[in-house]
Amino acid sequence: MNPKSTQQAIGDASATAFKIMHRGSAKQKLMGMRCKKYIKLACQGVISPEKLPLTPRADHFHGLHTFYQIAIWSQLHDTPELDPVDWGWMHKDNKLHPVTTDIDIALDISHLIDMV
């Protein structure tokens, strides 16, 4: 673990790890893998969301959370103080909570409703 890693480098490494965990190659795209798995599960009749690969942004934040926790738990003295907000955490109710994604979960169709 390199304590001077950037958020982008950690996110990229996390994506590669998740691709391999889901029996893919490093060159595949997570959304493509997710779509194929979704279709396979749909053909079996049961879609279990926990069996789907993470979305790219959820994977990115999972990597940031993991890096931050390891850095704190291992007390990397060579590392400048890490701000948890920079590593995928948010302050809420005086506690740290993980950010799961930074994009909308569903499409914003409000503009379509206005057209009707």
Rounding to the nearest 10 degrees, give the CA dihedral for residues 33, 37, 39, 40: 140
Q: What is the mean pLDDT of residues 47-60?
A: 85
DSSP 3-state assignment of 92? strand
CB atoms within 10 A of CB 74: 11
Looking at per-residue pLDDT, the higher value among 97 and 72 belongs to 97
Q: Contact at 8 Å (CB) between 19 and 26?
A: yes
The token pair at 78 is 């060579």
Average pLDDT over residues 70-89: 78
Which of 72-76, 77-81, 95-99 bottoms out in mean pLDDT, i.e. has the lowest? 77-81
Q: What is the mean pLDDT of residues 22-38?
A: 82
Residue 115 has pLDDT above 80, yes or no: no
**Quick one: pLDDT at residue 105?**
67
The pLDDT-based confidence of 114 (bands split at 50, 70, 90) is low
Q: What is the DSSP letter of 55?
A: P
Q: CA-CA distance, 7 to 71, in Å (whole number)?
A: 13
pTM for the structure as a whole: 0.72
Place of tokens 């691709």: 19
